[in-house]
C-alpha cells in the first residue's frame, strides 16, 4: 500500500510527541524538531512519524524517531516513512545512515542493507552522538549503512 507522506512542522509537535510517548521511544516531549520530520495521516489523525537529524559536514543522517500508532502497525507505514527519510537524506548528500533499534527488529533493516555495528567501530561523529552514548539506549542495536 502507498501512503501520502507529508513534511511535519512545529504545528505537528503535539501529534509527534503523542506518538513518541505512546510508543515509549523518548524520555521527554520534543520542544522543537531536531531535523526533518514526516508523518502519515489516516482516519483524520497522524498515525506514523519519522524524523532525524543531519550531522553537518559529515554526510551522515541519523534516524532518531520512528513511531507508528499501535492500532496502525503491520501496514507498512513505518517502512514507508523510513524509505522516504532515507531518500530525502540521499538527496541532501548523506552517504552514511545510522540509527538504533531493538534487537528483535534489526532483521527487517538488515534486509534493507543495514548492518549491526559495535559502537566503538562507528564513525567518530556517531560514536559521540547523544543517541549512541545515552545509557538508556545501550540495549539497542546500532545499525549503519554506507552508500
42-88: pLDDT as tens digits: 999 999 999 999 998 899 999 999 999 999 999 999 999 999 999 99
Put simply, whether the predicted model's pTM sits higher than 0.85 gets the answer yes
Does residue 1 register a pLDDT over 80?
A: no
- Residue-wise pLDDT tens digits, 91-111: 999 999 999 999 888 899 999
Give 112's contacts (C-beta < 8 A, 6+ positions apart).
145
What the chain holds in terms of domains, given with CATH numbers, is 5-146 (3.40.630.30)
- State the DSSP H helix or E strand holding residue 68, giving kind and residue range, or none if neither: strand 60-68
Amino acid at each position: 500500500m502507498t501512503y501520502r507522506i507529508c513534511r511535519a512542522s512545529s504545528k505537528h509537535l503535539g501529534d509527534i510527541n503523542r506518538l513518541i510517548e505512546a510508543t515509549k521511544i523518548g524520555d521527554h516531549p520534543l520542544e522543537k524538531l531536531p531535523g526533518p520530520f514526516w508523518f502519515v495521516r489516516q482516519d483524520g489523525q497522524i498515525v506514523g512519524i519519522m524524523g532525524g537529524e543531519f550531522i553537518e559536514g559529515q554526510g551522515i543522517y541519523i534516524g532518531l524517531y520512528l513511531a507508528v500508532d499501535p492500532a496502525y502497525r503491520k501496514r507498512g507505514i513505518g517502512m514507508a516513512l523510513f524509505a522516504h527519510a532515507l531518500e530525502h537524506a540521499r538527496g541532501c548528500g548523506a552517504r552514511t545512515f545510522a540509527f538504533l533499534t531493538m534487537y528483535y527488529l534489526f532483521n527487517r533493516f538488515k534486509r534493507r542493507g543495514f548492518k549491526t555495528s559495535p559502537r566503538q567501530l562507528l564513525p567518530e561523529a556517531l560514536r559521540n552522538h547523544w543517541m549512541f552514548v545515552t545509557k538508556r539506549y545501550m540495549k539497542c542495536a546500532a545499525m549503519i549503512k554506507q552508500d
